[in-house]
């Protein structure tokens, strides 16, 4: 589930099979050269060119993606220990590479929220500094309780709107506009904006309403109100983004364990090839063919020696070689 965001070809918000992504990474040049360097395959293949060593590794490796989503890695080599070590190293390097590339949806969300969280932290620091300066200049330390309620309510709605916008932007990194999560988040964003508009709209206060419109706050405290509202806003958005960031971190940690080894590669006790029976049969046939050809050649040679037309030629050749 966590890997459903590995979207390639997000035509209708349907994500590509993650095992296909892993197969592509296993056969990639990046991972191949990592193994070439790790196992010093240039020396093993006696080549000064790393490309030749890489091609030798690729030629000895077979990666198969089964219908059940299980990936099989096969490595053939004359050294059975090296073959097993390479097969296991493929999985180890795949895990490292997938983590460094932030391949999963959770990884991308974690990086996205980390950036937004840093911006919110900077905004909060600036808002707190501006509030302090306003307090020192105006002498206002605290507004009445009703003004505090107004400020808190407005800041809360604005922070929720900001956090929801960030969430939608995060979802769009791995999903289309028709994705159900994106549609639901957009509906929630519209609802929050409507509530904020009602709160800030200039209208008479309804009976029993615990809020008053922001226009009813005394003019003398407007500057302080704005500064305090900014602080409340950044405090709330920092809190909301922190929650989403922690959730993304947990999801990322869970996703990192999705690459699991079902059967670890062991040093083979029996050669995979060539098969002894096949080799013996092939050599027997080859010897039989060569023996037959040799018999025909010797027979033709003997017949040629007995032919008067060729005897003189053989005698000349014999004298020629003896003379040398």
> If pLDDT is split at 50, 70 and 90, which confidence band does 6 have?
very low
Burial class (CB in 10 A: 0-12, 13-18, 19+), 294: exposed
Task: Flag whether pLDDT at 85 surpasses 60.
Answer: yes
Task: State the pLDDT at residue 138.
Answer: 65
pLDDT tens per residue across span 90-136: 999 998 887 776 556 677 778 888 888 898 889 889 988 888 887 77
Q: How long a stretch of residues is the chain? A: 324
Q: Which two tokens stand for residue 150?
A: 């107004």
Q: For 27-51, what is each residue's pLDDT tens digit?
A: 999 999 999 999 999 999 888 899 9
Give residues with Cβ within 8 angstroms of 48, minimum separation 6. 42
Phi-psi region at 73: left, alpha or beta (left = phi > 0; alpha = psi -120 to 50):
beta
C-alpha gyration radius of the chain: 39
Peptide bond into 103 cis (omega under 30): no
- Number of Cβ within 10 Å of residue 74's Cβ equals 13
Mean pLDDT of 234-239: 84
What whole-number percentage of the chain has pLDDT above 70? Answer: 71
pLDDT at position 302: 76
Q: In the prediction, which pLDDT does 296 show?
A: 86
pLDDT in the model for residue 20: 84
Q: Give CA–CA dist 11/197, Å, rounded.
A: 36
Max CA separation in the chain (angstroms): 138
Distance (Å, whole) CA 306 – CA 144 = 133
pLDDT at 167: 78
Backbone angles phi, psi at 64, to 5 degrees: -120, 135
* pLDDT tens per residue, range 170-224: 777 666 788 888 888 888 888 888 887 877 764 444 433 444 444 444 544 567 7
Mean pLDDT of 234-263: 78
44 or 314, greater pLDDT? 44
pLDDT above 60: residue 165:
yes
The pLDDT value recorded for residue 210 is 40
Give percent of the chain with pLDDT exceeding 90: 22
Tell me, what's the pLDDT at 212? 41
Q: pTM for this one?
A: 0.47
pLDDT tens per residue across span 130-141: 888 877 776 655
């Amino acid at each position: 589930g966590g890997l459903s965001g590995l979207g390639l070809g997000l035509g209708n918000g349907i994500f590509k099979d993650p095992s296909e992504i892993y197969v592509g990474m296993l056969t990639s040049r990046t991972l191949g050269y990592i193994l070439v360097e790790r196992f010093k395959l240039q020396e093993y293949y006696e080549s000064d060119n790393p490309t030749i060593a890489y091609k030798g590794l690729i030629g000895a490796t077979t990666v198969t993606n089964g219908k059940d989503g299980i990936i099989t890695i096969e490595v053939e080599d004359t050294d059975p220990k090296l073959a097993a070590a390479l097969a296991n190293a493929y999985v180890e390097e795949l895990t490292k590479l997938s983590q460094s590339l932030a391949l999963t949806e959770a990884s991308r969300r974690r990086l996205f929220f980390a950036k937004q969280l840093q911006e919110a932290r900077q905004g909060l620091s600036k808002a707190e500094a501006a509030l302090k300066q306003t307090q020192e200049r105006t002498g206002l330390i605290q507004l009445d309780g009703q003004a505090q309620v107004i400020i808190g309510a407005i800041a809360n709605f604005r922070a929720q709107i900001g956090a929801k916008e960030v969430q939608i932007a995060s979802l769009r990194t791995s999903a289309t506009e028709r994705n159900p999560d994106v549609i639901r988040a957009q509906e929630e964003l519209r609802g929050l904006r409507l509530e904020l508009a009602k709160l800030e709209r200039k209208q008479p206060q309804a009976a029993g309403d615990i809020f008053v419109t922001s226009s009813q706050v005394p003019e003398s405290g407007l500057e302080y109100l704005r500064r305090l509202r900014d602080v409340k806003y950044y405090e709330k958005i920092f809190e909301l983004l922190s929650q989403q960031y922690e959730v993304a971190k947990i999801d990322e940690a869970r996703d990192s364990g999705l690459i699991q080894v079902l059967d670890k590669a062991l040093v083979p006790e029996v050669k995979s090839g060539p098969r002894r029976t096949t080799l013996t049969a092939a050599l027997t046939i080859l010897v039989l063919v060569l023996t037959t050809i040799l018999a025909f050649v010797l027979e033709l040679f003997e017949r040629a020696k007995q032919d008067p037309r060729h005897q003189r030629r053989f005698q000349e050749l014999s004298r020629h070689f003896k003379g040398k």
